[in-house]
Structure 1
Amino acid sequence: MKLIQVRKGQFVYYNNELHKVYSVKPLAKKSVHLFRIKDMEQVDCKADEVSLYKPQHLDSFLFFGTRYTLRDDIGPEEGGYILISKPDPDYMDHYSLNEFEKVESVEGKNVVTTRQNTVKFREFFVMQPGEAEGSKDIVYYDKSKVDASQLEADKELIDKIRERDAIRPSIGDVYLNLDNTSTAMVVAISNEHVTLGNGDRLTFHELYKADNWNFLYNVVDGEFR
Structure 2
Amino acid sequence: MKLIQVRKGQFVYYNNELHKVYSVKPLAKKSVHMFRIKDMEQVDCKADEVSLYKPQHLDSFLFFGSRYTLRDDIAPDEGGYILISKPDPDYMDHYSLNEFEKVESVEGKNVVTTRQNTVKFREFFVMEPGEAQGSKDIAYYDKSKVDASQLEADKELIEKIRERDAIRPSIGDVYLNLDDASTAMVVAISSEDVTLGNGDRLTFHELYKADNWNFLYNVVDGEFR
- TM over 0.5, shorter chain: yes
- Measure the CA separation in 2 of the matches of 1:69 and 1:173: 36
TM-score under structure 2 length normalisation: 0.97
Residue 4 of structure 1: how far off its partner (Å):
4.9
Residue 106 of structure 1: how far off its partner (Å):
0.6
> 188-197 or 69-78: which moved more?
188-197
- Matched with 1:116 is 116
SS in 2 for 1:3: helix
> What are structure 1's unaligned runs of at least 5 residues?
none
Specify whether residues 101 and 138 from structure 1 end up closer, same or farther in structure 2 by C-alpha distance, changes over 3 A only: same
Residues 2 and 51, structure 1, Cα contact 8 Å, conserved in 2: no
- Measure the CA separation in 2 of the matches of 1:2 and 1:131: 34
Aligned residue pairs: how many? 225
User: How far does the alpha carbon of each residue in 1:140-181 deviate from its partner, in whole angstroms, 9 at most, with x for none?
Assistant: 000010000000000000011111111111110011112222
Residues 3 and 50, structure 1, Cα contact 8 Å, conserved in 2: no
- Measure the CA separation in 1 of the matches of 2:217 and 2:80: 30
Residue 29 of structure 1: how far off its partner (Å):
1.0
TM-score under structure 1 length normalisation: 0.97
- Measure the CA separation in 2 of the matches of 1:3 and 1:63: 26
> 3-12 or 158-167: which moved more?
3-12
Q: Percent identity?
A: 95
- Measure the CA separation in 1 of the matches of 2:132 and 2:192: 35
- Matched with 1:154 is 154
Structure 1 runs of 4+ with >4 Å offset? 1-4
- Matched with 1:29 is 29
SS in 1 for 2:122: helix
Residue 3 of structure 1: how far off its partner (Å):
5.9
Residue 2 of structure 1: how far off its partner (Å):
7.0
Residue 201 of structure 1: how far off its partner (Å):
1.5
Residue 5 of structure 1: how far off its partner (Å):
2.7
Query: Aligned-residue CA RMSD in angstroms?
Result: 1.4
Residues 194 and 202, structure 1, Cα contact 8 Å, conserved in 2: yes
SS in 2 for 1:133: coil
SS in 1 for 2:159: helix
